[in-house]
Amino acid sequence: MIPIFNIPQRRFFHLLIGLFLAVSPTLHSLPNDTEVLEFLDSYCIRCHGGEKVKGDTDFSLIKSEKDFASHFELWETVADVLAYEEMPPEEEEKRPTNEEAQGIIDWYEERFIHTVEARPAEFKPRRLSAPEYRNTLTSLFGFELENTVMAAEQTRTESSLAMKLLPVDPPGKSGFVNDTHGVRLDANTWEQYVYLAERALSELFSPKRRDALEALLGQPLPPNFETKDLTQEQARSLLKHFSLQTSRRPLERKNIDKIFSSIKGLKGEALVSATQDEIKTLLVSSAFLYRGLLMEGISAQQQPVDSYELAERLSYFLWEDMPDEALLLAAKRNQLSTPSELEAQVNRMLASSKSISLAESFGAQWLGLADIDNADNDVTKRDALRSQPIDFLNYLFTENRPVIELIDSKVAFANYITAGYYPKTKSQLVKYQKPKGIERQLVPNQRMMLQQDDGRGGILTMPGILAMNRGPILRGTWMLRRILGERLGEPPADVPAIRAKLPAEDLTFRERFEQHRSDPTCARCHDRLDPLGFSMQIYDDAGFYKLVDNYKPPRRKKEHDDMLDVLDSSGRFPSGESFEDYEGLKQILLNSKRKDIIRNAVEQTLSYALCRKLEAFDRPTIDAITEKIDENNGSWRDLFVEVTLSLPFNETILP
């Protein structure tokens, strides 16, 4: 479900009109809560409550005035679908006058907009997501557990043993996999955690990981060292390290002493075994597997989180990993309470190679980049297509680039596999030398400055994005949802397929589609997505730009792929704005729709950072950050800093 603040502000008045034109109260002034309850009981419950619940919208959950705020999601859902007239009333229903509807509008605005105050969410512990666990385990031991299954040529195999064994985390209500509040720890997952802990400890004490053991001990080991030679001092050093790192904060002295007591007087294999058992206990403890369980000072009052919790929030946001020594030291010194130190930490962390997780995890989930895997049958081609937006997002996120450069940029990334998409720029690439005996090899992308390559620049025109969204409908839907942040309902189940072109018929796909969408029910959504989608008809299904010199059409032409001589990429929005081609659309996106794009970027970033769905009380935070980024042409780094300085990121409250 998309929060109501995803809806562009200019549409908000129409949203509320639509919400209450579906029913017919006789109200001429601002109603009170009791009158609103009577209103729901009289006009809404019949279709949305009790035995009949259409669209998963159940007003019977609102039994008293106290339930208004606690079920704000219900109001969000109804307002959202009716904003775009996706939930029209039955034709026989009596409709209220504008004056009657205005009374309900005034009540809604007074209750849920004008009087909403920013506050943090109630504290809820959550389990580490699979990627967070993998990265944390790697940071703890200094090496990654590798999957030893051999991959066949031209196939991709998960190299991480943790990612191979752990179940895939479903996206939470926020749409991100780090939103694990609703994911239970079952017996199978627990067994995998135990196995991974044992496997990591076994490797740590093996000869092949001698360098990792030395790094953890902080001292070189003799050439003939065997695990049975482990000393009491070395064992205590390991236990102290893992107790701090698995808790992601210092433990009380009495807890450390209790751990040390289990190895007291032991030596040889007995010492090694006891040390491993204590470390394994730490690795499968709830304090390690869950976030926030050891947070100090939590009460029923709104309050700042402690410095170690703030360090965790920062590291799992920017790195998808545990805090490093520098961050834990800053937490120990209570330096993270100052905005200047928080900003300095963000800058430091973005400069680290670990910040690639922002592109690979946050960016990939936000933009649905996993769908690129369906764009081509060739594994190396798919990987090359997917690596382009990842590298581009990493460039935006880590090199202080403006947020709006997501739409228009002179920087692109390519390798020899994707060079053909950039005929006038590919000369900048260092020529690829194919190794002997290798047919196709995936190589890193190189950065290019676009030169006279019309039709390229920004995320929308990247080959992989275009190839995973074939045809105007998919492309328009993706842009509307992922870039502009607008909600788009699913099409009705009984919508007929677009009529096939008759042999003697001289109609373009767009002309035939106009006939298909003539139904008013279909037109409500298509009025918004069609202008976006048809503007991208200048690209074929593989992502090639049709207007480039010497363009070669695909051998198998698709129904939606009109010939160049009849191609129409113009469009007109319901607002009246029109354009002739994609370049015209891009100017609209960079100007009148600029704030919508920035707002969506703010919402997605904040939701990912907080690991939860955004709520009504997050609106003031979103508004403030959006205004600041928009007015100052702020960068992604500015956005990340603002998120880490925000009230919901720094404070919490116990339910």
Whether residue 324 is contained in a domain is answered as: no
Tell whether 403 and 498 lie within a shared domain: yes
Q: Which of 566, 590, 614 is the last residue of a domain?
A: 590
Whether residue 619 is contained in a domain is answered as: no
DSSP string, 186-230: -HHHHHHHHHHHHHHHHHHTSGGGHHHHHHHHTS---TT--GGG-
Per-residue pLDDT at 63? 81
Structure tokens at 201: 């400890």
Cβ atoms 329, 249 nearer than 8 A: no
Whether residue 612 is contained in a domain is answered as: no
Tell whether 230 and 374 lie within a shared domain: no
Per-residue pLDDT at 105? 62
Tell whether 430 and 568 lie within a shared domain: yes
Question: d(Cα 629, Cα 108) in Å, to the nearest integer?
Answer: 28
Per-residue pLDDT at 41? 74
Question: d(Cα 205, Cα 227) in Å, to the nearest integer?
Answer: 6
3-class state of residue 565 by DSSP = helix
Tell whether 48 and 24 lie within a shared domain: yes
Nearest to 100 by CA among 164, 43, 140: 43
Question: d(Cα 598, Cα 613) in Å, to the nearest integer?
Answer: 18
Per-residue pLDDT at 530? 87
Per-residue pLDDT at 516? 65
Nearest to 75 by CA among 103, 108, 43, 53: 108
Helix extents (H) in 578-617: 582-590, 594-610
3-class state of residue 593 by DSSP = coil
Structure tokens at 639: 């956005």
Tell whether 104 and 156 lie within a shared domain: no
Whether residue 331 is contained in a domain is answered as: no
Nearest to 608 by CA among 638, 640, 633: 640
Structure tokens at 612: 């939860």
Name residue 303's beta-bridge partners.
652
DSSP 121: P
Question: d(Cα 354, Cα 371) in Å, to the nearest integer?
Answer: 24
Can you say whether residue 485 is alpha, beta or left, with left for phi > 0 and alpha for psi between -120 and 50 degrees? Answer: left
Cβ atoms 523, 509 nearer than 8 A: no
Question: d(Cα 328, Cα 249) in Å, to the nearest integer?
Answer: 7
Whether residue 341 is contained in a domain is answered as: no
Cβ atoms 463, 543 nearer than 8 A: yes
Nearest to 573 by CA among 441, 480, 502, 636: 480
Rounded to 10 degrees, the C-alpha dihedral 308/312/313/319 comes to 150
Q: What is the β-pairing status of strands 290-291 and 303-304?
A: unpaired
Q: Domain count for the chain, please give it.
A: 3
The rounded average pLDDT for each run of 10 residues, N- to C-terminus, in the chain (655 residues) is 42 43 48 76 69 64 76 60 46 53 66 80 92 98 86 65 94 95 91 97 95 95 92 95 94 88 93 96 95 78 92 98 96 94 97 98 98 91 96 98 97 95 93 80 92 87 96 93 83 61 67 67 75 92 89 76 77 90 95 97 98 91 97 98 97 84
Cβ atoms 506, 617 nearer than 8 A: no
Nearest to 161 by CA among 188, 138, 142, 182: 138
Tell whether 101 and 181 lie within a shared domain: no
Question: d(Cα 66, Cα 260) in Å, to the nearest integer?
Answer: 52
Tell whether 198 and 270 lie within a shared domain: yes
Q: Which range marks the domain in which residue 226 is found?
A: 126-291
Beta-carbon contacts of residue 213 (< 8 Å; ≥ 6 apart):
204, 205, 221
Whether residue 32 is contained in a domain is answered as: yes
Beta-carbon contacts of residue 498 (< 8 Å; ≥ 6 apart):
509, 512, 513, 516, 559
Question: d(Cα 601, Cα 391) in Å, to the nearest integer?
Answer: 18
Per-residue pLDDT at 125? 86
Tell whether 392 and 419 lie within a shared domain: yes
Q: What angle do CA 33, 39, 45 make, to 5 degrees?
A: 120
Tell whether 65 and 151 lie within a shared domain: no
Q: Which helix (H) or strand (E) holds 164?
A: helix 161-165
Whether residue 90 is contained in a domain is answered as: yes
Cβ atoms 119, 617 nearer than 8 A: yes
Q: Which of 83, 114, 145 is the last residue of a domain?
A: 114
Tell whether 88 and 139 lie within a shared domain: no
Q: Compute the chain's Rg from CA coordinates.
A: 28
Amino acid letter for position 40: L
Whether residue 625 is contained in a domain is answered as: no
3-class state of residue 122 by DSSP = strand
DSSP string, 492-520: PTTPPPPPPPPTT----HHHHHHHHTTSH
Question: d(Cα 13, Cα 166) in Å, to the nearest integer?
Answer: 46
Tell whether 278 and 232 lie within a shared domain: yes
Nearest to 109 by CA among 37, 57, 31: 31
Per-residue pLDDT at 25? 42
Question: d(Cα 537, Cα 567) in Å, to the nearest integer?
Answer: 7
Cβ atoms 425, 419 nearer than 8 A: no
Q: Which of 274, 291, 308 is the last residue of a domain?
A: 291
Helices (H) and strands (E) in the chain, counts: 28, 10
Per-residue pLDDT at 6? 45
Q: Which helix (H) or strand (E) holds 315?
A: helix 307-318
Beta-carbon contacts of residue 542 (< 8 Å; ≥ 6 apart):
376, 463, 466, 467, 554
Tell whether 186 and 156 lie within a shared domain: yes
3-class state of residue 614 by DSSP = coil
Beta-carbon contacts of residue 10 (< 8 Å; ≥ 6 apart):
575
